[in-house]
Chains A and B, each alone.
Chain A
């Protein structure tokens, strides 16, 4: 290429990248504040607005900078040099887009000021995705939670969840999608999947969101945990008596030994080369502790940049995603002589709704199936494990989203946003909800519905996280981080579970 073209291009590219990176904060010690060098607006609880044209410095208690504070009417203004975090509803930092488009906004902070709307938001920990409810005799019954832990655009994912619903009398399937957390949800696509099956069969989703129909389910012969105890009593039925990692196992957690496991044994039918392991499970709040306390809380104000900027870049996001994928979730391995061979990996499904899955595993030893479920200690609550002797993979009937209602109002724009997996998203804020309606064809045969939901969400950074930074750098994916989360989860489990349930944000 002609140098006369190359040089301008090189300068152009490097200049644009420089614009983007120029406000990234320097590495700082734990109590050194974070600096934003572009204009910032702070919206205060009393309705006034403070404009910091030259940016701000945010520490654990104050926002500092040369600003002008304007009253609610904008008639009066006064110079300010600092404002307490507690007085702020939210702040916006404005950056110039690098792609030639208009400037864009990053919402960087939500503080206790929002408690005006809902109490105790500053400590709200309920969350990790949109929740899905269906009406059952006038009561909204939780069915699923969508795209759990997709905490940035780059982590956008599709989740398929089994629903325990029947069609309404008018032939429609109505699902209420709620944002009950301090998160902004970006819903790209919703569709209903229908699987028709025999009366003795049950339909499930597998670890890769494929659908599988199973039959001839039976209990395990044995389920032995890491300590050598038989825990099959916890796993025999869907009864709320769940398996969780024993406290004594948790006490012994230390790097690099952070895993728990259960060895399952069950008979396999003669001649079978594979069977399906059926699980009903959900995550514990270990994951929530990891996300809220370690990933976002420890770095303090640096989380603003981590959420708002780092996770939007491929490199840092990929590092987190790869680590998370490999380290969290559940490995399913089959006994291959003295060794266990991993044959499937189940991603974390979220701590709110139970998830029913079936995972097909090979039968290595004729007549017997021996499987090890391994996972970070106490990462799961497992209600039921069974073995299905027969299974078949199926293709579902796809039922597109037909209507979206906000209260009593039909919203065609929201429908268009979620009808296809494309560049359009429905954005919801804490407390919002909508009803998704699907028109399923009637059928006399037994069938099971699944909701496929695609999207991502961004976490609102809490003021309480900013006040007590414990790390001198942003989150670094490592086993040390998991060990810290495990330690804190072990110490605060009871109070955290109560707080989690209590801080669900009411929808309007």
Chain B
């Protein structure tokens, strides 16, 4: 009987808490957005996902710069604990919907807030990375 309970418990844990746990997942536990690793044709951008717009991702790069990355130019987009969500053969729209929820500003940035954020990092406008 104990063995059965152990098996049940193991199955329970495996089935119900497979994938990132909300109790360990940074975008849930912390104010930050999810960590992104974007591979473009000629460059690579890594950093925190700030905002998901209709056709672009806004990131705070590891070098503390606010950049905009057009989604069309991303060859492969991997995200902490979620894996590769943008890339060939992957449906973009549901990915963007999920990522928006795990960005730092899922409800978007107003122009005023964007301006303040840029000022903090010594920028006047968002740098576009292609």
Interface residues of A (CB under 8 A from B): 3-4, 7-9, 11-12, 15-16, 19, 38-39, 41, 43, 46-47, 49-51, 53, 68, 70, 72-74, 77, 89-90, 92, 94-98, 100-105, 107, 110, 114, 116-117, 406, 409, 411, 413-414, 416-417, 424-427, 432
Contact = CB atoms under 8 A, between A and B. Distances in A.
B8 A70 contact: no
A11 B13 CA distance: 11
Contact of B22 (A12, A46, A96, A98): A96
Chain A interface SS verdict (over half): mixed
Given A39-B29, A72-B120, A12 B4 contact: no
Nearest to A75: B120
Contacts of A95: 22
Contacts of B94: 424-425
Given A41-B31, A103-B22, A47 B55 contact: no
B21 to A, nearest CB: 7
A411 to B, nearest CB: 7
Contacts of A100: 15-16, 18-19
A413 B22 contact: no
Contacts of A432: 54
Contacts of A39: 22-23, 28-29
Interface string B13-42: 001111111110100111110000000000
Contact of B97 (A3, A19, A46, A427): A427
Contacts of B54: 406, 432
- Which 8 pairs between the two chains have the least Cβ-Cβ distance? A105-B101, A11-B8, A8-B8, A49-B31, A70-B31, A102-B19, A90-B107, A413-B92
Contacts of A424: 91, 93-94
A72 B116 contact: yes
A101 B28 contact: no
A448 to B, nearest CB: 31
B93 A102 contact: no
B129 interface: no
Contacts of B110: 116-117
A111 B13 CA distance: 37
B101 A53 contact: no
B101 A74 contact: no
A406 B91 CA distance: 18
Given A7-B4, A417-B93, 17 more contacts: A3-B4, A4-B4, A7-B5, A7-B8, A8-B7, A8-B8, A11-B5, A47-B116, A50-B31, A68-B31, A72-B120, A90-B107, A100-B15, A101-B19, A103-B22, A103-B25, A424-B91
Interface of B: 4-5, 7-9, 11-12, 15-23, 25, 28-32, 54-55, 81-82, 91-94, 97-98, 101-102, 104-110, 112-113, 116-117, 120
A73 B120 contact: yes
Interface centre among A38, A46, A92 (most CB of B within 10 A): A92
A426 B92 CA distance: 10
Contacts of A3: 4
Nearest to B113: A47
B21 A103 contact: yes
A105 to B, nearest CB: 4
Interface centre among B11, B21, B54, B55 (most CB of A within 10 A): B54
B14 to A, nearest CB: 8
Nearest to A100: B18
B11 A8 contact: yes
A507 to B, nearest CB: 12
A416 B95 CA distance: 14
A110 B108 CA distance: 12
A425 B11 contact: no
Contacts of B12: 11-12, 15-16
A101 B25 CA distance: 14
A70 B5 CA distance: 43
Contacts of B32: 74
Given A105-B101, A107-B101, A16 B31 contact: no
A39 B29 CA distance: 7
A92 B30 contact: no
A105 B117 contact: no
Given A116-B110, A424-B93, A432-B54, A12 B8 contact: yes
Contacts of B15: 12, 16, 100
Interface centre among A8, A46, A104 (most CB of B within 10 A): A8
Contact of B4 (A8, A94, A117, A425): A8
A489 B20 CA distance: 47
A89 B18 CA distance: 31
Contacts of A116: 110, 112
A89 B113 CA distance: 12
A424 B94 CA distance: 8
Contacts of B22: 38-39, 94-96, 103
A406 B94 CA distance: 17
Given A16-B16, A105-B102, A43 B93 contact: no
B11 to A, nearest CB: 5
A19 B16 CA distance: 8
